[in-house]
A = this chain, B = another copy of it.
């Protein structure tokens, strides 16, 4: 992961508000594992374009997570590259989508963002002996626990929002229109949004981070579509990005961040994208009795498994 530009750490140490805001912007970009400020800015713009509630809760979650890390004295360089904000960003979005836009949801988003920062520390402690990072697991744990418990509490539960369509079977014929929609929604679905233009703006943000990043992201999206179609997934789910957003993340993580740029590593990243596409169906079935919140678990589990295998596979090499 790129080193933070020194001035953000400096601004944080001098307690300048601009340092805090720049670190938070990077936090938005770190959802896609990219610390560039321009990437964060474009992704944030894409989120606000998807709806003001989504933009607001993404902003709120990122700011609260980053501020919590600052208040608890977390290592400034980790804050400066945005690693303390991305889980709060996703948690804010997940809560407003799952629980609806109510006053109680604001309180839960703040508590959830605080918990994300704590869980980031917890997972860093637990995973660092293995050379693994927390990825988006704090988001998945906090959001999963909150959405699972919410219906038990009358003051935070206002009934389930409009049900997400998730047929397990359905038409598998695919058109050109389905394909290009899927290509972009695979990118936006990382943030639980299924609008193609949101994905397009996000891809522009990833392009700022370099050709390698955006090409791998695109390759991941294509791999997710091809795998899901080859397995026979319902077209509606492919078109909405349900089967491809994990593939996008896996390929960015393995192809552009954690492994060095060899052909074998690239093939390994694309293989991981295909695996995460299949795993999406398994985890969705696993979580169905509990309300079905797959979030980015397929990306997390695939990346952890494939990265932990690398030290024993001499053909592959970590980038660090």
Q: Interface residues, chain A, CB within 8 Å of chain B?
A: 71-75, 114-115, 118-119, 121-122, 124-126, 129-130, 145-146, 148-157, 168-169, 172, 230-234, 271, 275, 278-282, 284-286, 289-291, 304-306, 308-316
Which of B125, B290, B311, B315 makes the CB contact (< 8 A) with A71? Answer: B315
Whether B72 lies near A316 (C-beta < 8 A) is yes
A223 → chain B, closest Cβ, in Å? 14
12 contacts between A and B (CB under 8 A): A72-B314, A74-B312, A114-B271, A121-B310, A122-B304, A122-B308, A124-B312, A125-B312, A146-B282, A153-B231, A155-B172, A155-B231
A109 to chain B minimum Cβ distance, whole angstroms, is 14
If A122-B308, A148-B285 are given as contacts, then 16 extra A-B residue pairs at C-beta distance below 8 Å, sorted by A number, are A72-B316, A121-B308, A121-B309, A122-B309, A125-B309, A125-B312, A129-B129, A146-B282, A149-B285, A151-B285, A152-B169, A152-B233, A153-B232, A154-B232, A156-B232, A285-B290
- Closest B residue to A290 by CB, please name it: B286
Main secondary structure of the interface of A (DSSP, over half): helix
Q: How far is the CA of A291 from the CA of B306 in the complex (A)?
A: 26
Point out the residues of chain B lying under 8 angstroms from A275, CB to CB: 115
Residue of B nearest to A309 (CB): B121
**Total copies of this chain within the assembly:** 3
Q: In the bound complex, what is the Cα–Cα distance between A146 and B153 (angstroms)?
A: 30
**Least CB distance, A47 to chain B, in whole angstroms:** 27
Note all chain B residues with C-beta closer than 8 A to A234: 154
Question: Are B130's CB and A154's CB within 8 A?
Answer: no
3 pairs of A and B residues whose beta carbons are closest in the complex = A155-B232, A149-B282, A154-B232
Cβ-closest chain B residue relative to A306: B118
Please determine whether B125 and A278 come into contact, CB atoms closer than 8 angstroms: no
Instruction: Specify which chain B residues have a CB less than 8 angstroms from the CB of A145 in the assembled complex.
Output: 278-279, 282
Do the beta carbons of A155 and B230 come within 8 Å of each other?
yes
Residue in B closest to A305 when the chains form the complex, CB atoms: B122
Shortest distance between the CB of A28 and any CB in chain B (Å): 22
- Which single member of B119, B130, B150, B285 contacts A126 (CB below 8 Å)? B130
